[in-house]
A = this chain, B = another copy of it.
Amino acid sequence: MNTAVKSQKQLARLDSALASGTLADVASIVSDLSPGDVAHLISSSPPRYRHVLWSLLEAEQEAAVLNELPEDLRNSFLADMAPEDLAEIVGQLDDDDVADILQELPDAITGQVLSIMNEQDRARIETVLGYSDDTAGGLMSTDTITVRADLTLDVVLRYLRRHTEIPLNTDTLMVVNREDRYVGLLPVRTLLVADPGVSVREMMVTNRDPIPAHMDSSEVARLFERNDWISAPVVDDDNRLIGRITIDDIVDVIREEADHSLTSLGRLGEEDTFSPVLHTAPRRAVWLGINLLTAFIAASVINAFQGTIEKVVALAVLMPIVASMGGIAGTQTLTVLIRGMAMGHINERNQAWLVGREAMVGAINGIIWAVVVAIAASLWFDDITLGLVIAAAMVINLITAGVSGALLPLLLQRLGIDAALAGGVILTTVTDVVGFLSFLGLAALAYG
Interface residues of A (CB under 8 A from B): 1-6, 11, 15, 18, 34, 36-37, 39-40, 43-46, 68, 157, 160-161, 163-166, 168-171, 188-189, 191-193, 208-212, 215, 219, 222-228, 230, 235, 247-248, 250-251, 254-255, 258-259, 261-263, 265-268, 271, 273-274, 276-277, 280-281, 284-285, 287-289, 291-292, 295-296, 298-299, 302-303, 306, 309-310, 313-321, 323-325, 328-329, 331-332, 334-336, 338-340, 343-350, 353-354, 357, 360-361, 364-365, 368-369, 372-373, 376, 428, 432
Contacts and interface: CB of A to CB of B under 8 A. Distances in A.
Given A168-B189, A292-B325, A324-B432, 13 more contacts: A2-B211, A3-B208, A4-B211, A39-B226, A44-B347, A254-B254, A258-B258, A265-B265, A265-B266, A267-B328, A284-B332, A287-B328, A299-B320
Most B Cβ at <10 Å: residue of A161, A254, A274, A288: A288
B235 A2 contact: yes
Contacts of A348: 15
B36 A339 contact: no
Given A254-B254, A288-B325, A192 B4 contact: no
A350 B266 contact: no
A335 B258 contact: no
A221 to B, nearest CB: 9
Given A266-B334, A273-B343, A280 B313 contact: no
Q: Which 10 A-B pairs have the closest CB atoms?
A: A266-B335, A36-B226, A258-B258, A316-B316, A273-B340, A3-B209, A44-B345, A228-B248, A166-B189, A295-B321
B321 A284 contact: no
B267 A332 contact: yes
A241 to B, nearest CB: 12
Contact of A302 (B43, B223, B247, B316): B316
A225 B252 CA distance: 8
Nearest to A189: B166
Contacts of A292: 321, 325, 369, 372-373
B209 A6 contact: yes
A273 B329 contact: no
A347 B188 CA distance: 42
Contact of A288 (B251, B309, B334, B369): B369
B331 A160 contact: no
Nearest to A5: B212
A131 B402 CA distance: 41
A306 B295 contact: no
B267 A331 contact: yes
Contacts of A285: 364-365, 368-369
Contacts of A357: 274, 276-277, 280
A12 to B, nearest CB: 10
A299 B381 CA distance: 12
Nearest to A231: B230
A165 B187 CA distance: 11
A299 B321 contact: yes
Nearest to A220: B4
Contacts of A268: 332, 335-336
Contacts of A287: 328, 332
8 contacts: A265-B265, A277-B360, A281-B364, A285-B364, A288-B328, A288-B369, A306-B316, A320-B323
A409 B230 CA distance: 36
Contacts of A261: 258, 262
A268 to B, nearest CB: 5
Contacts of A364: 277, 281, 285
A337 to B, nearest CB: 8
Contacts of A208: 3
Contacts of A335: 262-263, 265-268
B3 A211 contact: yes
